[in-house]
Structure 1
Amino acid sequence: MTIHRFWNKECERLSEQNCPCILAEVNACPVCDHLKGYDLCNCDWADLCVIQNYQWGEIKKENDPDINILDRIYLSNNCLMLVVVLPLYMEQNLSGPGTWITFSSSLFSKVKDISGFTIEIFNKPGIFTVSIDVRDPEKRYLAENAKELKIKTIENKLLGKHILKNIEKSNVLFALNEIFTPCAISIAETIDRVSNNIDAIIYKENSFVENRLKKMGVNILDIDITTLNSKNIKSLKKGYDLILFGMKDNICNDIGILREEIKQSSLVSMLYL
């Protein structure tokens, strides 16, 4: 299976019978401009028209009773997005923001685990995407090469979920490092984006998440999450009613200090590992 990198427009599947693949279903096709949301086509592709085959054909996927990996896309250096088949009866358990799934695979002689956050769930044909933390070399190899996975545990790593769902007419700030940045999509979907204003400081290399958030009306701030501190927080010059943190201690040593720099009375929600 080819591992597609989001920023690479080339695709080895275009001339094969398995085009369009599931990337067409999740609006992540690296070639077709229409499937990426543009009105005009500038793909300069002389062979099979991806959008035409997608509209009149079928999505090509393997049928397997286990959780089958359909595609792999590197969102950033340490985040590998897996597109997998979801058993429909498990959809409700996996759909909440901050859902952390641990998968097991027998690719090695012993069963090994990989884990990641749910990004999005698609009702048809039972597809969901999950961002795997691949900082560990062994887990990276497993995530890149495993053919099938089994769900081992499902947890929720989001504190203050009820605050996110109920907040209205407020200024909200996301501050998410590389591993937590993919969670921003499902969390932004939870918040009422009509009555609330959402700013986000995310991992800049993750253009997939950044583009999705912009389409959802989230304002991406030009601040490097890896150097976030009280000085550049002060430069925001805006009071936030809710702050969502998803950072490690080596990036932000004292969340309380940052909170005071923004607004002492602000509510705090947090993602953790």
Structure 2
Amino acid sequence: MNVSPCFDAGSLYCPCVLAELGQCVACSLLRGEELCTCGWSGLCIYTEFIRSGKKVKPRRRSVSARVLKKREITQGPGTRAFIFEAEVPGELSMWCEFPGSFVLVRPKGFPERFNVPISVMSSLEAAIALAVQVVGPKTTALERSCKEGREITLVGPFWSGLQGLEHLKSRQGGRVLIVAKGIAQACAIPPARYVTGRGGTVKALLGGGPLNSVFAEKELARTGASVEVLPKAKDHNLERVATELAGTRYDVLLSAGANVQHKALRDLLEGMDDPPAFAWTSNLSMTCAEGICGSCLTSGFRGCKAHLPDGV
């Protein structure tokens, strides 16, 4: 399956300003190289850029979103987290249905450096649900501004929140195991809905992680997934995951959690003779999510746009 190196390739936002600057993630020709190496069978970004008179598409625009509902997941001085629904334009919510969709959110009137990247938990007709863990100044400011009836500023959608998405796309009717812990439980719901909606089956192993709270169980069950809540364990439930993989043939293992979880599950797969494909949620720092600011750079890749190789 040929996959563009860039999540935005061929979208409403392509070609972007990176093409104009000779920094295109997907197109080697626009980067000044002599040969086409994109390996993609979709729309030719180079041709599109030349035909348009070397004009770039507009960036995603900021919109005001009204907070409809808010509920606490956890409270207390140690860990705070909450879920809220925001009213957004219908077109935006429609494009947020894809697995890996996320938006940048900040308090209204605050500068862009307060942007917080948040995965879309669910997409409604003209609203989206988002889960936030309060961990620093930006999320604290967002928590204070997220009051029912008040407006926040939102930019999106972006689609690079789930790496390895091509494994889900190429396996219609496949079997997927999701391991989701902490606030990343929210990231597990869209891919579960995507897989079951295409005739596949999903088993979800959920853990409270640093939140000490499992909040996505009912929502995942509504997608048709089989859900198991994991107890706290010294080995972080790796033995339970290994037992599940040994007893059932899965096509894809999806890790939704911290980078340490991603690494532990990758190491587990390396010890298998015929392991499933691996997908994982992105934990990169982001500010603009347009490949410009450099916050997301990892191993030479612009992580807010690029399909990352496994292990990066």
TM-score by length of 2: 0.57
SS of the residue aligned with 1:221?
Answer: strand
Q: How far is the alpha carbon of 1:141 from its aligned partner?
A: 4.3
2:161 pairs with 1:148: no
SS of the residue aligned with 1:235?
Answer: helix
Asked whether the equivalents of residues 196 and 224 of structure 2 are also in contact (C-alpha less than 8 Å), the reply is no
SS of the residue aligned with 1:140?
Answer: helix
Equivalent AA in structure 2 for residue 203 of structure 1: G
Q: 1:74 aligns with which of 72, 75, 84?
A: 72
Q: 1:264 aligns with which of 274, 287, 291?
A: 274
**Alpha-carbon spacing, 1:252–1:133, altered in 2? closer, same or farther (3 Å):** same
CA deviations on 1:30-77 (whole Å, 9 max, x unpaired) are: xxxxxxxxxxxxxxxxxxxxxxxxxxxxxxxxxxx8211122112345
CA deviations on 1:118-172 (whole Å, 9 max, x unpaired) are: 111221xx22211223222551343233432112454321122232234244331
SS of the residue aligned with 1:265?
Answer: coil
In the other structure, the counterpart of 2:104 is 102
Contiguous gaps of at least 5 residues in structure 1 = 1-64
- Aligned equivalents of 1:172, 1:207: Cα separation in 2: 20
Asked whether the equivalents of residues 178 and 254 of structure 2 are also in contact (C-alpha less than 8 Å), the reply is yes
Q: How far is the alpha carbon of 1:256 from its aligned partner?
A: 2.5
Asked whether the equivalents of residues 174 and 243 of structure 1 are also in contact (C-alpha less than 8 Å), the reply is yes
Equivalent AA in structure 2 for residue 247 of structure 1: G
Matched positions, count? 207
Equivalent AA in structure 2 for residue 257 of structure 1: D
Q: After the TM superposition, which segments of 4 or more aligned residues of structure 1 sit over 6 Å from their partners? A: 107-111
Contiguous gaps of at least 5 residues in structure 2 = 1-62, 284-312
**Alpha-carbon spacing, 1:168–1:91, altered in 2? closer, same or farther (3 Å):** closer
Asked whether the equivalents of residues 114 and 143 of structure 1 are also in contact (C-alpha less than 8 Å), the reply is no
SS of the residue aligned with 2:207?
Answer: coil
Asked whether the equivalents of residues 193 and 224 of structure 2 are also in contact (C-alpha less than 8 Å), the reply is no
In the other structure, the counterpart of 1:134 is 134
Q: How far is the alpha carbon of 1:94 from its aligned partner?
A: 2.4
**Alpha-carbon spacing, 1:267–1:66, altered in 2? closer, same or farther (3 Å):** same
In the other structure, the counterpart of 2:123 is 121
In the other structure, the counterpart of 1:233 is 241
Alignment RMSD: 3.0
In the other structure, the counterpart of 1:30 is none
Q: 1:160 aligns with which of 161, 164, 171?
A: 164
Asked whether the equivalents of residues 201 and 223 of structure 1 are also in contact (C-alpha less than 8 Å), the reply is yes
- Aligned equivalents of 2:94, 2:207: Cα separation in 1: 28
**Alpha-carbon spacing, 1:82–1:243, altered in 2? closer, same or farther (3 Å):** same
Q: 1:85 aligns with which of 62, 65, 87?
A: 87
**Alpha-carbon spacing, 1:177–1:208, altered in 2? closer, same or farther (3 Å):** closer
Deviates more, 1:170-179 or 1:74-83: 74-83
Q: How far is the alpha carbon of 1:218 from its aligned partner?
A: 1.5
CA deviations on 1:162-203 (whole Å, 9 max, x unpaired) are: 322342443311012212111222111111367433111223
- Identity, % of aligned positions: 15
In the other structure, the counterpart of 1:209 is 216
More relative contact order in 1 or in 2 (CA 8 Å, sep 6+)?
Answer: 2
CA deviations on 1:72-128 (whole Å, 9 max, x unpaired) are: 1123455421111111232333232211211122467997333311111221xx222
